[in-house]
Each structure stands twice: as C-alpha cells, then as structure tokens.
Chain A
C-alpha cells in the first residue's frame, strides 16, 4: 500500500496551511530526509521532509493550494516493488475531505446523519480487498493486522490479503477474520466449507466430544442452507472444467485501464468474465434456462448473478441484461452491487431472479472448485485463480497465465454437449477478448 504523506501541523494550534511549492515531481525518487515540499502558514514557511523511501507516486494537493487541513493526504509515495496501479485503489478508498472529523461548525449539524441514515456498522470494506474479483493486494504490500487476527487467520488457512480491515486505519482485527471465515464457509464451495476434523480443538469431554459454542441461525443462514440442500439433492449436477489462457486479456485490460485515466472505470478480470459469460449465454441460450415441472423456461434476457461473500453470508446480486452492457457498465454495476451487498443494503429485486451465476474464489488462491447450482438456474460457473502455469505452446514448454473454470450444470435442462458448447464459447471470448468489445 503506498505511503500517505499527510499535511503536517507546524505548531500545536495549526489547523490548516498553504501548500506553497513542491520540490519533487511525480515519478521522482525520494529518500528519507529529502525535501518534498514547502508549507506556509500565517506565521512561518517550513520544508516538509520525506521520512520514507520510494518514488513520489502521486501529488494529490497541487502547489499553490491554500487552506489545506492538517492531516489531509497531500501525496502518495510508492515503496519499492509497488506499481502505480495501487495508487488508484488508495485514492478511491480515501474519504472525501468533507468526511474528516472537526468540520466547520455550521456545516456539521446539517450533514450529521440521523442514525437511520448513518453509515452501517458493517466493515466499510475497500472494494478491492473483498470484491469477487481476482485482485489480491500487490505482493509485498504491508498488511496491518492485530496479532490475534494473524493467528486466527493462520489457523483458518486464510490469506490476510483477501480480508478487509475494519479496525483503526483499516487494521484487520479479530471480527474481520471471523467474518471472512464465515463468508468463506458461506460461499458455494464445498471444499472450503468443510472444516478439517484434524483442526478441531482437542476434546475435553471424556466421551471424546469436542467442546463447541452454539451460534443461532440467522434467517439468511437458513435460506442458504435450505436452497443449497435442495439444489444438491434435487438437481442432477454434472461438471465440466476448462482452462483459459489469460495473457491477452490481461494485456488488453492493462491498455484499457491505462487509457481510462484517473476518472475512468478500472476493469477487473472478473468484469471480463461476467461479460464473457453473458455473451456465451447469448450464443448458447439453452444454458440460460430453468428446468420446470412441465416445461423448460428459456430466458429471453441474459441476467447474470455474481456471488458476493458478505459478513452475514452469501448473496448473489444480479446484473440485468448483461449481454447488452459493455465492460465499463458491468464493472461499475458489479462494484456498486457488491458494496451494497456487503453493507446489507440490496433491494430484493437486486438479488432475486437471474438465469446463471458466476462465483469467483480466485482471490483466495483457489485453483479450481465445483460449486452448487443456484436454483432454479441451470448453470453456474466457478472461477479459480489467475496464475502462471507451465503450458505446452507450439510443442515447447512455456509459461502462461491460466485460469481454471468449472461449469456446474443441471443435466435435466442442459445436456453435456450443450454445456461444453457454452464453455467453448466462453473460453473463446476470454482468450480472444477483443471479440467481446464488439
């Protein structure tokens, strides 16, 4: 995570100052002790020295800006090994200056929300860390977590990079790990759900029964249990797995994101997946269907559900008419739905219905998995991590970024060959991503 340079207080009573001059430009190397900029108050002008090493990644407050509040972030320094892409996530996650404490006396009461409208106590997760997109934190980024959170995560086999922190300054604390473990269990991934018997605490009761605490079921938990039990018992699942090469897609994504600029939409790999699923469903409409007692229901519109792990359990908000939406529109919608899903603020029409579901556990480093179908849908695509793997290319061993996807399909509605056609179409779009820009 880039280092934040804050507006310093030059005296105990200083509340704001002017940013007079930057001595470093974006992209300049910075080492500890270098003069970064000059700050002036009504009393004095003072040089601000860097306390960290790296590259000045972004200047957030241009020179000549007056009345910059103390502790506002004025620049970001990239540490060694960090790439500039991480800047945007930080900028996006930063609260707008107005949200800072100690607002102007007149402004505060007016903007003070009533409790009903106040921000939900649920962790305000930065979108990047818990969103269902294969975007773990860049390697080497420092993760702030309490000692207990680290130990609980290690015990649960959970990668802290995939956990959003709700403690002071985004620190990961016990409750975040507990929520992440619970959310992982809620995801339709049987492999992740079953706690290994060996990890259970040693029994204390003479009969050998392990001690436990009872957590009453929430309504959501009950619904998840009921629907997935029904699905696994009533739907004859079969599974088809395909490997997709991602290098071209990643290159295209990089180009598009570079062109998008600071205000543009930053596309994730997951956005491409959702778009490819939508187009593949349009091409093989038999998969976009539900088994009914008397007739097959073939959907006339492509509505794709995206599985989102929330502290309370799994929810699947719907991207409506996804085949007619571009990557940017899908990206914006998925981010927005995901954020509200985690805050528990989705409207029923936003998570009900849908013809097909995408579940992505790539950010947890899951190689591949087979998921349970989200009834009454007939198919679900389980997406694994994008990872560099040895592949045979033109008869020689090469390294490529690969992603394994597994289709779970309802054999009553979708025969194996039809499922295979769908995956073929999907793989074609992913490996030749320009075709999905059309």
Chain B
C-alpha cells in the first residue's frame, strides 16, 4: 500500500490542480494528486489545446484557399476530417504524457481515481466503484473543474446534438450546423466548421456575440463572422429541438416571432456547471452557489483545511485563472511571504475564432459604470504595415485609460494573432503602468505590436499612423 498521509492532496488534475500540486511539492509539501480520468484535465485533453490544433488546421486551410492572393498556386485543395481530428488527439496525448512526467519529476504521488471528502482531512479514493485508498491531509484542494451546461429541451445526445466533446472528434462533416451560444467555446467551433465549409448558424440569447467582450469588439467580430458566411441571430432563443434520423429542426424565437431551422448537427455551448457532485461536499460547511463552490480570496471554503480553485469556483472560468489561483492558494498555505490574492482584472481572456479576440481588464462600459472618466484609444489593423504584409488588414486594438490617473484600465483586441499580443498589456497592467511608460516603450518595427503603441497614443490624441 502506498503512502496515505500527506501535507496536501489535490483533487483534480487539470490546469488548476496539477499546477497547484507541482507548486506545493516545490515548496516542500508532501503532495498527492487524485485524478479520475486524464491528467491535464479538460483544458489539455478536451478543451483549450485540442481545439487549438483543430483551429490551426482550419487556419492553414483558409490560407490554402487564398493561396492566389499571395501569388501561390494550390490545386485540388481539401481536407481529411479524420486526419485533422487525429492530429488534434495526438497533440493532446503528447501533452497529457508530459503532465504525468512533470508530476513524477516533482515527486507528486498520483492516484488514478475519484476523490471524495470524508471529513477531518480525510479523502476516500475509488476507481470503478471500488475503494483504492483512504488519504489524510492537512490541506485538501478541490480542483474538480466543470462540464458543459445542459438546458431543458436542448439536452445533448452526443449524436445529433453535440457538446464540445463530440464537436472535437466529429465523425462526419456536418453540411449545416447550429451553434447555440456565442461565448468562447461556441464561437471557436462555429469558426472551425465554417472554415471547413459548414453552413453555420449561431444563436445567442444576449444582444451580442462574445457577450463578455467590449461592445465595439463584439460588433467588429459579428461583422467579420457574417462576412465569412455565418448566420448570426442575437437576442434569440432556441425553444426546442426536433430530431430526425440525421438532422435536427430547431425552433428559434427572436423579437417575439418564431422560425424553424433544419441542420445536420447542433452544438450546445450554453455555459458550464461546476463538478460539485459526489465529492463529499454534503456533510461539510462548504457553500455551493449555482453549482460553484464559494471561496474567499485565498480559495478557502467554509470547511477548515479544504480549498477550492479553478472552474469549480467563481468566474472567470479559464485555465490560466485556475493555475494562478492554485499557486496563490498553495503559497499562502506554505506561508510564502508577500503573496497577494488574485486580481481578476488582471486575467486576460483569449478566443481563437477567426478573427481572434483577446482582452484584459475593464471594457469601456464597465469602466464608465465604475465611475471612471475614461480616455479611449483605437488603432485599426489597416494602418499597420505588418498586418498588410501578412494579408490580415482587418482588426482593431482598443485601449481604455482612466483620464485622471492614466491607469490602463483595459485593452481589447480583435484581429490576427491578438491572442499572442494581449500579454503585453497584461504585464503593463500588473506593473501598474500609466500611459506615460507605454508611450515611452519602444515597440519593434515591423510588428503587429506597434498597434498596441499606436492605440495608447490615440487615447491621448497623439496617434501617428491614422
């Protein structure tokens, strides 16, 4: 029998859990990790990473379709869906193995099973219904993540109505597709299938696509998606789904009127729910609010010695938020000096649709609602040499400053490679830079990043290239 007494046990091996476990081990805590399915969690196996592999295939395919624009010739272009999916799975597999190696290297003991709190620092681990270990730990970190939300009447069946999981390994290429929900997950799949030739319709209940983004960015992306051939209905609700043998007819309500839409497949991407079931929360002082565990700023739950991080807890539900939260939680427990709670205004968000969308901090409207008098800068991709050379002239970089203090409140981007650019503003915000340092910083030419400079200049009436 393996060791069963630990300083820390982490339940869940996703980007929150495995990072927390490695950090705990680095700090000298005797650490175990309990994972019921895949090391790396949804992110690495069924989320962030494999979708990026799929979207990369779609992007290369887009380039091939436009080879002529670059003076290149490509004949008989096409794709093999099976091989596209196969590549995506291979990428996930490679990283999954990598996480196992990292945990081993850091001497984290891994238990393959389902963890359940038993009270007083106890955790029962079972696999296939059989108990395999009873662990005790001074500190237990719950990082069990989340799964797709299912709405009544629109329940996924895995065949005609998909969640992200089936959409990631499609057996057939749907000629037509309905995507319900235009958050990051929905819109990325909409982009992928649209690029590969599906006739894609997106239905969003809120008044705009990518509803958490800045309104201007949403509007920009909306136009771009429509230009690519997507049909988008905002402020609309899917009332019911009627399934036939190989198609689904959806009843959609918009502006008080209903219409029907028949498609090959439906993807339901209407949010997530926390995995709070069967982990032993019932007999504890832990509070659950709308399927998410309530914690304080140090990830402490109502139960002494039990912590919760990542998608299991409050938004934003992002892998990098989970990892960072895990590190802070563990460092706090280990008594590392100078640890501060996570500032959620510093968590960037990236969506890998075409064009990409990325942001950090407050939207213009949120800043105004919080009482800031704002200065807003904008710079379009069309004014940037590198964007033109890349053949990516569509996009926008928007910055929001506090007019009084010059604090960078938020940055919002849409266009090619913006997911790689946003971190520049992330660092700026973390270092509490004002417009003065951003104006003073030298941005290399020719790069897309020059637009980040120009957007700041524009906010203060000093833009050069428009």
Residue of B nearest to A110 (CB): B7
Q: Is the CB of A102 within 8 A of B27?
A: yes
Closest to A213 in B: B371
From B138, B338, B341, name the one whose CB has the most chain A CB atoms within 10 angstroms: B338
Residues of chain B with a CB closer than 8 A to A197's CB: none
Bound complex: CA of A115 vs CA of B138, how far in Å? 11
Cα A109 to Cα B338 with chains together (Å): 19
Chain B residue nearest in CB terms to A99: B337
Interface size band for B: 35 or more
Q: What are the residues of chain B within 8 A of A201 when measuring CB–CB?
A: 373, 404
The CA-CA distance from A68 to B407 in the complex, in Å, is 42
Interchain CB contact under 8 A, B335 and A113: yes
Q: Classify chain A's interface size.
A: 35 or more
Q: Which of B26, B304, B370 contacts A213 (CB 8 A)?
A: B370
B244 at the interface (CB under 8 A from A): no
List the one stretch of A20-28, A149-157, A326-334 in contact with chain B. Answer: A149-157
Whole-angstrom distance between the alpha carbons of A119 and B29 in the complex? 18
Q: A148-B406, A155-B405 are in contact. Are A107 and B28 (CB under 8 A)?
A: yes
Minimum CB–CB distance for A220 against chain B, Å: 20
Q: Is the CB of A212 within 8 A of B338?
A: no
| B300 close to A148 (CB less than 8 A) | no
Complex CA gap A146/B433 in Å reads 7
B333 CB contacts on chain A under 8 angstroms: 112, 115, 118
Q: Is A173 located at the chain interface by the 8 A CB criterion?
A: yes
Q: Is B332 an interface residue (CB 8 A)?
A: yes
If the complex has contacts A148-B434, A152-B405, are A95 and B29 also in contact, measured as CB distance less than 8 A?
no
Task: Please measure, in the bound complex, the distance between the C-alpha atom of A86 and the C-alpha atom of B297, giving whole angstroms.
Answer: 36
Instruction: Decide if A115 touches B7 in the complex (CB within 8 Å).
Output: no
Q: Is A114 in contact with B305, judged by CB distance below 8 angstroms?
A: yes
Interface flag for A296 (CB, 8 Å): no
Asked if B436 is an interface residue, CB under 8 A from chain A, the answer is yes
Measured between alpha carbons, how far is A104 from B304 in the docked complex, in Å?
A: 26
Taking the closest CB of chain A, its distance from the CB of B372, in whole angstroms, is 9
Task: Tell me if B390 is interfacial: C-beta within 8 Å of chain A.
Answer: no
What residues of B have a CB within 8 angstroms of the CB of A112 in the complex? 7, 29, 138-139, 333-335
1/0 per residue, CB under 8 A from B, across A200-242: the answer is 0110100000011100000000000000000000000000000
Those of A142-172 within 8 Å (CB) of chain B: 146-149, 151-152, 155, 166, 168
| Assembled-state Cα–Cα distance A105/B139 (Å) | 16
A103 within 8 A of B: yes
Q: Does A347 contact B (CB under 8 A)?
A: no
Question: In the assembled complex, how far is the CB of residue A25 from the closest CB belonging to chain B, in whole angstroms?
Answer: 32
Nearest CB in chain A to that of B332: its residue: A118
Q: Are B28 and A103 in contact (CB under 8 A)?
A: yes
The answer, yes or no, to whether B37 is at the interface (CB within 8 Å) is no
> Given A147-B432, A151-B434, A201-B404, A168–B335 Cβ distance below 8 Å?
no
Residue of A nearest to B333 (CB): A112
Chain B hits for A102, CB < 8 A? 26-28
- A contact residues around B18 at 8 Å (CB): none
Q: Which residue of B lies closest to A112 (CB)?
A: B334
Q: Which of B400-455 contact A (CB under 8 A)?
A: 404-407, 431-434, 436-437
Distance, CA A265 to CA B13, complexed state (A):
51
Interface string of B370-408 (1 = CB under 8 A from A): 110100000000000000000000000000000011110
The distance from the CB of B7 to the nearest CB of chain A, in whole angstroms, is: 4
A166 to B338, CA, bound (A): 7
Which residues of B are found within 8 Å of A148, using beta-carbon distances?
Answer: 405-407, 432-434
Write the nearest CB–CB distance from A19 to chain B, whole angstroms: 24
A109 touches B30 (CB 8 A): yes
Are B26 and A118 in contact (CB-based, < 8 A)? no
Is A119 a contact partner of B432 (Cβ separation < 8 A)?
Answer: no
Q: Please give, as numbers and ranges, the residues of chain A lying within 8 Å of B432 by CB-CB distance.
A: 146-149, 173-174
Of B26, B340, B370, B373, the contact of A166 (CB 8 Å cutoff):
B340
A146 touches B431 (CB 8 A): yes
**Known: A99-B337, A109-B138, A146-B432. Contact between A115 and B332, CB under 8 A?**
yes
A107 to B371, CA, bound (A): 49
Does residue B46 face the partner (Cβ distance < 8 Å to A)?
A: no
Is there contact, CB below 8 Å, between B371 and A118? no
* Alpha-carbon separation in the docked complex, A65 to B386 (Å): 57
Are the C-beta atoms of A151 and B29 separated by less than 8 Å?
Answer: no
Does any Cβ of B come within 8 Å of A101's Cβ?
yes
CB of B298 within 8 Å of the partner chain: yes
CA of A101 to CA of B28 in the docked complex: distance in angstroms? 9
Interface centre among A124, A147, A168, A202 (most CB of B within 10 A): A147
B27 contact from A108, A146, A149, A155, Cβ within 8 A? A108
**Bound form: Cα–Cα A121–B30 in Å:** 25
The CA of A206 and the CA of B305, in the complex, are separated in Å by 53
Does A111 make an interface contact (CB < 8 A)?
A: yes
Docked CA distance A353–B131 (Å): 60
Residue of B nearest to A170 (CB): B338
A166-187 CB contacts (< 8 Å) to partner B: 166, 168, 173-174
- List the A side residues contacting B77 at CB < 8 Å: none
**CB under 8 Å from chain A, chain B span 220-245:** none
Q: Residue on B with the closest CB to A117?
A: B335
Which residue of chain A is the closest to B297 with respect to CB atoms? A121
Complex formed: what's the CA distance from A124 to B333 in Å?
17
B residues 7-37 with Cβ under 8 Å of A? 7, 26-30
Determine the distance from Cα of A291 to Cα of B10 in the docked complex, in whole angstroms.
61
A sample of 22 inter-chain contacts (CB < 8 A) reads: A101-B27, A101-B336, A109-B28, A109-B29, A112-B138, A112-B139, A112-B333, A112-B335, A113-B335, A115-B333, A121-B297, A121-B341, A146-B433, A147-B433, A148-B432, A152-B405, A166-B338, A174-B407, A201-B404, A202-B373, A204-B373, A212-B371
Known: A112-B139, A121-B340, A152-B405. 6 other contacts (CB 8 A): A109-B28, A112-B334, A151-B405, A155-B404, A174-B407, A202-B373
- Of all A-B residue pairs in the complex, the 10 with the closest CB atoms, nearest first, are A108-B28, A146-B432, A148-B432, A109-B7, A213-B371, A105-B28, A147-B434, A113-B335, A103-B28, A148-B407
B interface residues, Cβ below 8 angstroms from A = 7, 26-30, 138-139, 297-298, 300, 304-305, 332-341, 370-371, 373, 404-407, 431-434, 436-437
